[in-house]
Amino acid sequence: MAYDKFKILKSTAVPLNIDNVDTDQIIPARFLKATERKRFGDNLFRDWRYSSDNSLIKSFPLNNKKYNGKILVAGKNFGCGSSREHAVWAIYDYGFRAVVSSFFADIFKNNCLNIGVLPVQITESFLSEVFIEIDRNSRNMFEINLKNQEFKITSSSIKERFKISTYKKSNMSNGFDDIDYLINKKDQISAFANKLKY
Amino acid sequence: MGKTLFDKVWDSHVIEKIKDGPDVLFIDKHFIHEVTSPVAFVGLKNRNLKVMYPQKTYATADHNTPTINQHLPIKDRLSAIQVKTLEKNCNEHGINFWGLGHKKNGIVHVIGPENGITQPGLTIVCGDSHTSTHGAFGAIAFGIGTSEVEMVLACQTIMQQKPMKMKINVEGKLSANVTPKDVAIYIISKLSSSGATGYFVEYAGSVFKDMSMEGRMTVCNLSIEMGARGGMIAPDEKTYNYIEGREYAPKDAEWMKAVNYWTTLMTDKDAIFDKEYNFKAENIEPMITYGTNPGMAIPISKSIPKANKSESKLSYKKALDYMEFSEGDKMIGKKIDYVFLGSCTNGRIEDFRTFASVIKGRKKSNTVDAWLVPGSHKVLKSIKDEGILDILIESGFKLREPGCSACLAMNDDKIPKGKYAVSTTNRNFEGRQGPGARTLLASPLVAAVTAITGEITDPRDII
Ligand code: SF4
């Protein structure tokens, strides 16, 4: 499915300073029953946002009015656990376009890149700086420049480069996905299938 | 330079290498289930695409399905729709569908091997992270997202960067009452829940050579819990013996050809790994988790340690608060409310044999609820045929019908809020087994002794 083209994202950020946030927290299994990709954002971090009686948990950053924006900043090893792409759909549908962390789980990172959420991996020390910056002033802006592969704290202009393959970068900036690429390869694929060992 | 087992299988499936980008990888076998596939089929429809090789995909309903009265319509409306949608999609595209009640139905990672679909040298994917299970046969098997499920349906390929390679050696002989589950949890506790992220693991050494195929599946299954894309073990006689004669196994001349090829599937002597770990079997004890990720595990006889430096103090405290445990607590003797035997980690026949061997002649504790859920209908049948069901009933246990059940609590099987469960599954995340549920991961042996005493018990004290 085509998604929004990603060029430069300037936004405030929402902090989630917890390590090892797993996909069961991002979206609990009981909300995976849909057969279409709709309204997953409603249940993003469901059990951290709402108590069992559905009242808002005020202390959770997503419920704190002072935090908003299109960038989620999270502790290390974000997205570990299951392969559910629903986790990234929930993040996207909620309104985030990028997740910043010092370390991402593998499948989660792939899923992000496949649907147009940019995973921005920065060093642990820079990540702590970013958390401090948001803490200091939640209106602080951050800038993600995909072309230059840079993540910047705009108030101080301190920035760090992040990695992304040339292929994925071009996909992200054009809103393409892998199927758009693979569809033109079908002859090559079937020729390959025919000469497999067994 | 020589090649690793992983290199051999991966390289032989690369159709194209994209410069500074992923490899286009051909996929031999694809498993789907009701939860992560429906949106992929919607995608196909929107692009007006057909399934390229429907016969290479196998579908089962497992995540959402009830484990009691499976012959009746599914009560939960959304679950029922999801399972129905899977059936409809499979029929429409000519995909093998083993729905509820089908004799080949079961948890996706249990039915692949037991029907002989899982074989050495294959690339196997599924929209489920524990696809790593199939690596026990010397296949490259890993979990994918729904976008990739759509890719495999449409083009029988995915696009991924080749991961780095890690070797984990465990040499020596395991002590009595130390099981494959303990070996896996021990490794995760040493590497942490992110220690193998970016890597594909090969398990080597005498411990894995001596291990049964079921045990190897348990170990490979848990690879993802230390962040690895997957884990694999070189195929050997045990592997061939397991596969031979199963429904989808190659037959006659094809079999000879296959085995000839499989014998080449081992890491060359001069091959190089990006990272290697060495552990001694003698150091491994029965293990149990105390926190909210599988890396937070200790030998069952030990006390909960202080936060280590790789984990931030805040996250560590959050985990212990959730569990209502404290640093320094002893694990032995903690009261347990639920015992769960099952899942793609420990829901195979060998696990039920182990469980039964312990509880035989003993009685289930009155204070424990025990949910015993076979991984598949084939496992269920063996449980009955081998007389295990009689042993269970005799000791006060009941058996449920196959499925994922309380492993992820998508169906009705949810551990209630605040309750403690010793579980043979793979994840102790917050709320994984039900909102507010507290999970302690352990082996079927620990589960069995705990079910008898009602508190965390060291199997070595009883058996
Ligand atoms: S048993 Fe648990 S881990 Fe395995 S496939 Fe089912 S839900 Fe996933």
Domain limits, chain B: 1-285, 288-462
Q: Work out the end-to-end distance of chain A between its first and last CA atoms, rounded to an integer number of angstroms.
A: 33
B90 lines ligand 1 (CB under 6 A): no
What is residue B308's predicted lDDT score, i.e. its pLDDT?
75
Q: Which helix (H) or strand (E) holds A71?
A: strand A71-74
CB B133 within 8 A of CB B231: no
Average pLDDT for A47-61? 95
Tokens of B434: 């039900």
For the stretch B342-389, pLDDT in tens is 999 999 999 999 999 999 999 999 999 999 999 999 999 999 999 999
Average pLDDT for B104-127? 98
Do B1-285 and B288-462 share a fold?
yes
> Among candidates A62, A28, A67, which has minimal Cα distance to A47?
A28
* Position A198 pLDDT exceeds 90: no
Burial class (CB in 10 A: 0-12, 13-18, 19+), B90: buried
Q: Is A180 on the interface with B (CB under 8 A)?
A: no
- Which residue type is seen at B317? K
Phi and psi at residue A146, in whole multiples of 5°?
Answer: -70, -40
What is residue A3's predicted lDDT score, i.e. its pLDDT?
76
What is residue B310's predicted lDDT score, i.e. its pLDDT?
61
Q: What's the gap in Å between B404 CA and the centre of ligand 1?
A: 5
Q: B288-462 architecture in CATH?
A: 2-Layer Sandwich (3.30)
Q: Is A114 on the interface with B (CB under 8 A)?
A: yes
Q: Is A93 on the interface with B (CB under 8 A)?
A: no
What is residue A2's predicted lDDT score, i.e. its pLDDT?
60
Give dist(CA A132, CA B265) in Å, integer: 51
- Please state, in angstroms and as integers, the Cα–Cα distance from residue B415 to each residue in B52, B307, B405, B432, following that order: 41, 27, 10, 9
* Position A130 pLDDT exceeds 90: yes
What is residue B397's predicted lDDT score, i.e. its pLDDT?
98
* SS3 sequence of A83-130: CCCHHHHHHHHHCCCEEEECCECHHHHHHHHHHCCEEEECCHHHHHHH
Q: What's the gap in Å between A124 CA and the centre of ligand 1?
A: 32
Look at A166 and B19 and tell me if their CB atoms are within 8 Å.
Answer: yes
Tokens of B164: 């780095």
Tokens of B71: 């012959």
| Chain B hits for A178, Cβ within 8 Å | 147-148, 151, 158-159
- Rg of chain B in Å (alpha carbons): 21
Q: What's the gap in Å between B61 CA and the centre of ligand 1?
A: 12
What is residue B1's predicted lDDT score, i.e. its pLDDT?
86
Residues 6+ apart with CB under 8 A from B87: B61, B97, B99
* Position B312 pLDDT exceeds 80: no
pLDDT mean across residues, chain B = 97
Q: Tally helices (H) and strands (E) across chain B.
A: 17, 18
- What domains are defined for chain A? 8-195 (3.20.19.10)
Look at A177 and B163 and tell me if their CB atoms are within 8 Å.
Answer: no
DSSP A30: G
Confidence of residue A196 (pLDDT cuts 50, 70, 90): confident
Residue B361 CB coordination number (10 Å): 8
CATH topology of domain B1-285: Aconitase; domain 3 (3.30.499)
Tokens of A147: 């072309």
Using DSSP, state whether B298 is helix, strand or coil: strand
